[in-house]
Structure 1
């Protein structure tokens, strides 16, 4: 195994790590989106909880349903953030393993592949949770619009 003594071999290791670094950038963008959605969901939950409740029984049920939906959305976003951050950490381990692979006597290719696969699984599950949260948000928005249309038509 060749050690990292020449500039050319260091450059080759940097080239190998470029792909995972771009993936880290994509995950950072995803985390920005998720934290924005979390902020909006928390703000909406605060608005719903501080709004005066009407005496109408139906509006109380709707408010309870919206609160439950918001809490579910917040949980989904929190887990999506956890999984995306975990995926990013595993990608960082991939980069570290790529660089240290030439310094150790053992072949780290299996470990690197395993770390990368695990990072992808975490990212996939995080994206699926994000998709579920978007679906819940869209359903709640449609429900709110339908209620507004019924109120305006009366």
Structure 2
């Protein structure tokens, strides 16, 4: 059942939701970067004639795809968590552990996405040395 919420509580919930909003901004920036990099890798792979080089490009594209999936999952988790904060306040539910767990999972997914992106950067640097 809906509960009557004082304006101070609404203000508090909105301010609590500000930090995840910054995370969502970072996720959107990362997604844009990853999509651009994947498109460039696909163009390069189409232009490469050597089997080994093509295989290297495929591995690099796989890393970028993994980073994209993890980044999207992080965004979904963050969005669900923000919604749960509002629903929790609106209905008076006590889902504090669930909210914290969702935030932790979203951060883990984002961190893993960054790790896959780092692996791609290192692979690109190695490819440039050849």
Q: TM-score range by the shorter chain?
A: over 0.9
Query: What per-residue deviation string (whole Å, max 9, x for no partner) do you get for residues 96-117 of structure 1?
Result: 1111112334311000011011
The equivalent of 1:34 in structure 2 is: 34
Cα pair 1:13 1:98 within 8 Å, conserved: yes
Q: In the alignment, what sits opposite 1:149?
A: none
Q: How many residues align?
A: 128
- 1:80 matched to 2:67? The reply is yes
Unaligned runs of 5+ in 1: 50-62, 144-154
The answer as to whether partners of 2:5 and 2:90 remain within 8 angstroms in 1 is: no
Q: Which has the larger radius of gyration?
A: 1
User: Is the 1:20–1:95 contact (alpha carbons within 8 Å) kept by the matching residues of 2?
Assistant: yes
Q: CA separation in 1, counterparts of 2:73 and 2:100?
A: 16
Report the TM-score when normalising by structure 1: 0.79
**TM-score, normalisation: structure 2:** 0.92
Structure 1 segments, 4+ long, off by >4 Å, are: none
Gaps of 5+ in 2: none
Of 47, 66, 80, the match for 1:93: 80
